[in-house]
């Protein structure tokens, strides 16, 4: 499959995941003839034009969906950088007409982390939502009003290297989550943090939770764990777009350098053995990116893990509604039953009230 056809195949899945109809996505894709920046019939130009049309008729969220696809899979050329900026700016216009959605921005090391947030308050448990290597935060931010109504201080952000996150994606990127919790201390109950971390950010969340006791639950979809990074036999099956995007995010010179780095990302049984919290994992039976051996590893090493499997490709885009219902219901059940909550220390006997 050549580059443009692979782009179109993945775009159909991501368009469906964002709520676009298959018919609309097919019509747009039929007008795209190449992927050359500056060409009016190119990938970024056609999707951006659709986004501008949606914005002109006042449908700002629909415009964001099109801009997100225009910068897909990453904003590596001038046209895609324009689409990335339009996606953020248009979402900002939309959220200013909503109640209580705010922008947060933190500097860290060699870059910046940007977020959209709602429901912040020191007494509210924190929920962090993060997408994968091709998903910008604006795709998930429309969920913020719902998450606020459910009682969470909710923050939507991006994997290092994706969208407005200008950090480099590397084996230590999980530390970014600790920084985020540090910065949110006082604005949310960070000691009771849940992670809704999709795909590669699920890997980050698992690694961070092994070290940071503030993360009490991890819910993920198609997360790589170990074999994706370290199994040489699996790598030839990884789609070219996935490999190229990882090369970009890790700032590797080429795929050879990338493959040399990836084993450093793999989680070890010892690290996974440190996880004593609930983990909920949506798997896809026809996942073309993540090997099913990852599930077997989690079953062997985690004391509290549950899976929901859909007959679908990576991310289960054809089962978006059922997937979201399962994840939200699991999140609420874990919260109500206080699964993963840290026990409140009891005072010494002589200090207890009678």
Sheet holding 125-130, edge to edge: 101-108, 111-118, 153-157, 125-130, 189-198, 215-221, 279-284, 305-310
Quote the pLDDT of residue 94: 96
Predicted pLDDT at 164: 97
Whole-number Å distance between alpha carbons of 14 and 12: 6
At CB < 8 A and 24+ separation, what contacts does 140-145 make? 141/91, 141/95, 141/101, 141/116, 142/61, 144/101, 144/116, 144/117, 144/118, 144/119, 145/98, 145/99, 145/100, 145/101, 145/118
Q: What is the DSSP letter of 35?
A: -
Q: What is the pLDDT of residues 261-274, one digit of tens each?
A: 999 999 999 999 99
Quick check: 45 and 52 in contact, CB under 8 A? no
CATH architecture label of 99-336:
3-Layer(aba) Sandwich (3.40)
Q: Model confidence over 272-305: pLDDT tens digits?
A: 999 999 999 999 999 999 999 999 999 999 999 9
Tell me: the pLDDT tens digits for 315-354? 888 888 899 999 999 999 998 887 666 543 333 333 333 2
- For residue 311, what are the CA distances in angstroms to 82, 194, 296, 319? 36, 27, 18, 9
Domains in the chain: boundaries: 1-97, 99-336
């Amino acid at each position: 499959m050549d580059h443009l056809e692979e782009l179109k195949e993945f775009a159909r899945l991501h368009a469906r995941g964002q709520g676009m109809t298959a018919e609309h996505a097919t019509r747009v894709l039929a007008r795209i003839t190449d992927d050359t920046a500056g060409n009016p019939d190119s990938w970024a130009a056609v999707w951006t034009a659709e986004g501008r049309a949606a914005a002109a008729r006042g449908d700002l969220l629909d415009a964001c969906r099109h801009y997100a696809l225009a910068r897909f899979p990453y904003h590596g050329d001038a046209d895609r950088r324009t689409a990335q900026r339009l996606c953020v700016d248009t979402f900002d216009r939309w959220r200013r007409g909503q109640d209580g959605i705010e922008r947060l921005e933190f500097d860290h090391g060699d870059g910046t982390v940007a977020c959209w947030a709602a429901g912040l308050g020191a007494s509210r448990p924190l929920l962090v939502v993060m997408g994968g290597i091709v998903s910008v935060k604006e795709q998930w931010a429309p969920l913020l009003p719902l998450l606020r109504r459910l009682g969470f201080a909710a923050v939507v952000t991006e994997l290092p290297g994706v969208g407005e996150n200008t950090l480099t994606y590397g084996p230590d990127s999980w530390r970014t989550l600790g920084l985020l919790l540090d910065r949110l201390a006082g604005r949310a109950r960070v000691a009771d943090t849940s992670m809704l971390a999709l795909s590669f950010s699920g890997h980050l969340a698992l690694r961070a939770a092994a070290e940071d006791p503030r993360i009490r639950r991890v819910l993920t979809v198609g997360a790589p764990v170990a074999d994706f990074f370290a199994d040489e036999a699996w790598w030839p099956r990884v789609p070219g777009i996935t490999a190229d995007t990882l090369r970009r995010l890790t700032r590797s010179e080429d795929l050879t350098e990338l493959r040399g780095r990836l084993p450093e990302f793999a989680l070890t049984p010892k690290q996974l053995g440190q996880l004593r919290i609930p983990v909920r994992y949506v798997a896809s039976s026809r996942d073309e990116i993540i090997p099913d051996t990852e599930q077997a590893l989690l079953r062997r090493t985690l004391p509290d893990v549950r899976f929901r499997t859909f007959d679908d490709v990576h991310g289960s885009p054809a089962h978006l509604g059922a997937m979201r219902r399962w994840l939200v219901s699991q999140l609420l059940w874990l919260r109500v039953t206080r699964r993963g909550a840290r026990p409140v220390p009891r005072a010494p006997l002589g200090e207890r009230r009678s």
